[in-house]
Amino acid sequence: MESFIKKLSRTISFIILFFLSAFFYFNFKGFAYVDGKIVLQNDAAQAQQVEDIISSLPVHGAARVLPANIHINASDKFAIGSLNAPITLYEYSSLGCPHCADFHTDVLPRLIEEYVSQGLLRVVFVNFPLDRKSMRAAMISECMSYENYHQFLNTLFSNQRSWWLDRDDERLYRYAAEHGMGYEQTNACAHNDNIAREIVSNRQQALTQLHIQGTPAFLFSGADGNEIIYGALNYAKARDYLNLRLYGPQPVNQ
């Protein structure tokens, strides 16, 4: 009986920790870099203004149409796919976001098989952290080699609950070691101000120009303009949108 009570107590503690973490996860969405520190901030009034802007944007299929002259600052050093692909997908994700994990582990591999491998799509992952733990993971990821980067992201998304709920970063450091980075390099990256500034800068552009308030969000950029899908994206929705963008409206079978 004593053993059962201990197990039950641990289970209840885990559940409480999970929901407390979820609360902070969804409420502290804003980042700023102030006096050398990463500061979380949330402005409900500003969020409502952004929602109004989004609602006013033209619609094309599942996407909202953005100005064509937006220049994306995010680095494409880890991009997948041909430079000549007609569409580049910028995947704005937080490494601690469950819907982002669903897309990255279930949908993206199919898009790579169906579109990237055919030269139709290029994919750029952009870190958009929503919490301090995801920020730390994002900073570490930026130091990965190209050969190890995407597998490292897959590991983080596949084991999201484990490392995200940890009190320390030991598991993150272990995952980094499994993908070719020693402790000293990992620790240096996790505390690198320049990396932090770059992530926050990309995030700020996403907030102000792309009107992204949460993750995931998917910017599809091409010679014909910029269009964005906010929120969770399954394969059918992504496929239908890409086919519309690539081939135009298809005739309805009578």
Instruction: Give per-residue pLDDT as tens, 177-220.
Output: 999 999 999 999 999 999 999 999 999 999 999 999 889 999 99
| Over residues 4-25, mean pLDDT | 46
In a domain, 254, yes or no: no
DSSP annotation of 118 reads T
The domain of 184 spans 2-247
Could you tell me if 123 and 112 are in contact, meaning their C-beta atoms sit under 8 angstroms apart? Answer: yes
pLDDT at 15 over 70: no
In a domain, 213, yes or no: yes
**Collapsed DSSP state (helix, strand, coil) of residue 218:** strand
pLDDT at 167 over 90: no
Q: Judging by DSSP bridges, how do beta strands 225-230 and 63-66 pair with one another?
A: antiparallel
Q: Which of 44-58, 81-95, 219-233 has the lowest mean pLDDT?
A: 44-58
pLDDT at 4 over 60: no
The pLDDT value given to residue 221: 97
In a domain, 253, yes or no: no
In a domain, 140, yes or no: yes
Number of domain units in the chain: 1
The pLDDT value given to residue 51: 82
Q: Which amino acid is present at 6?
A: K
Strands across the sheet with 217-222, in order? 59-60, 63-66, 225-230, 217-222, 87-93, 121-127
Distance separating the N- and C-terminal Cα atoms of the chain = 67
In a domain, 230, yes or no: yes
DSSP annotation of 80 reads B
CATH number of the domain enclosing 52:
3.40.30.10
In a domain, 97, yes or no: yes
In a domain, 76, yes or no: yes
| Over residues 151-157, mean pLDDT | 97
In a domain, 252, yes or no: no
pLDDT, tens digit (0-9, with 9 covering 90-100), for 91-121 = 999 999 999 999 999 999 999 999 999 999 9
pLDDT at 8 over 80: no
pLDDT at 63 over 80: yes
Could you tell me if 203 and 128 are in contact, meaning their C-beta atoms sit under 8 angstroms apart? Answer: yes
The pLDDT value given to residue 95: 96
